[in-house]
Amino acid sequence: MSKPYPMSTKRTEPAAVSTTTRTARKGNMTTNKQQDTGAPKRTVTRPKLKRVADFDEVVTEDLWNYYRQAVEAGPKKAHEVEKIRNTLMERHYPLVKYIAERLQQTLPRSIELDDLISAGLFGLMDAIRGFDPDRGFKFKTYCSTRIRGSILDQLRSQDWVPRLVRLKATRIDKALQSLTSQYGREPTHSELAESLELSHGDLSKEISGGTAKAVFSISERWDDSSEDGGEKSEIIEDKKATDPISELHQKDLMVYLTRSLTSKERFIIEQYYQVGHTMREIGEMLALTESRVCQIHSNVMGRLKGLLGQKEGTLLM
């Protein structure tokens, strides 16, 4: 009886497949697949979302792709969405400033440029949210309209004149220009009323109500080119303020007129005309009756009138 052969503990490795054979097989499979479909399959690869620190170095076209990916990712990419949006706003800030400066040239000088830029930035933010690159037009074309519209909306909200009044005024101006070009002269009131199909009274009301009114700031300087120019508020007369020259003149005149009076008579005149006390209050201060104070006052006024009559025609009068 023959002895069984001992089993070897060494594992037998499978035969290695050569790299050339694998490549040939893969090439045959690819060739057969291309023959079945008739054309090679094209795959569109979108750039992967970069780190937040690298957004400033990305060109604007690729930045829109990153922005769309971050928006589609949902709330977990909210920080990336905010970072990319801020980067886009920084890059398009010169465009907002350019549009605001162009509009400021057609507005009153009281409108500040910073206010227009602030309103334009809100329009730029809305344009970034609503822009779709797949539509085939540039973002600059799209956002320019949104920025200008946002600034105009802000100006309309601050206008204290109703919009209907503005529309009526525009209608009257258009009719006036049309008749002027037609007749070669400025039309009369009746011709303008007939063109607008309004009566003379209604046309007058609309013209007066639609007249353009502007609000100016009194803190505005006369010369904006230099800081040395004074403000308009410095030359506006305050009619409620006391004129120091006039007040000194009245005091000097009162001293001149009352220097010939007794102390009691001078006290009555000063309290009645300068302080504003009544005859009864003056009588209580001097321990006199109201009728006696009136009598003293009448005598003093008679003498002062005679004195003023003698001085008439002199430098004092």
Report which secondary-structure segment, H or E, holds 171.
helix 163-183
Of 84, 117, 112, 80, the residue nearest 98 (C-alpha): 117
CA-CA distance, 88 to 143, in Å (whole number)? 12
* Whole-number pLDDT of residue 151: 93
Interior/surface letters 117-143, b for 16+ CB within 10 angstroms, e for the rest: bebbbbbbbebbeebeeeeeeebeebb
| Percent of the chain whose predicted confidence (pLDDT) is above 90 | 14
* Whole-number pLDDT of residue 93: 92
* 1-60 tens-digit pLDDT: 444 444 444 444 444 444 444 444 444 444 444 444 444 444 444 455 455 445 666 666
Token reading at 119: 């309103």
Residue 293 contacts by C-beta under 8 Å, 6 or more apart in sequence?
Answer: 268, 279, 280, 282, 283, 286
* Whole-number pLDDT of residue 203: 84
Token reading at 86: 């801020």
In the chain the domains, ranked by start, together with CATH numbers, are: 52-157 (1.10.1740.10), 163-209 (1.10.10), 246-311 (1.10.10.10)
- For the whole model, what pTM was predicted? 0.44
DSSP class of residue 272?
Answer: I
CA-CA distance, 297 to 286, in Å (whole number)? 13
* 279-316 tens-digit pLDDT: 999 999 989 899 999 999 899 888 888 777 665 544 44
Cβ neighbours around 193 below 10 Å, total: 19
Q: In Å, how far from its chain's centre is CA 271?
A: 55
Residue 129 contacts by C-beta under 8 Å, 6 or more apart in sequence?
Answer: none
CA dist 310 to 253, 265, 296, Å? 15, 21, 22
DSSP class of residue 10?
Answer: S
Reply yes or no on whether the pLDDT at 215 is more than 80. Answer: no
CA-CA distance, 44 to 65, in Å (whole number)? 13
* 255-268 tens-digit pLDDT: 877 788 888 888 99
CA-CA distance, 150 to 240, in Å (whole number)? 43
Reply yes or no on whether the pLDDT at 252 is more than 80. Answer: yes
CA-CA distance, 200 to 180, in Å (whole number)? 19
Residue 196 contacts by C-beta under 8 Å, 6 or more apart in sequence?
Answer: 171, 172, 175, 203
* Lowest-confidence region among 208-212, 222-226, 298-302: 222-226
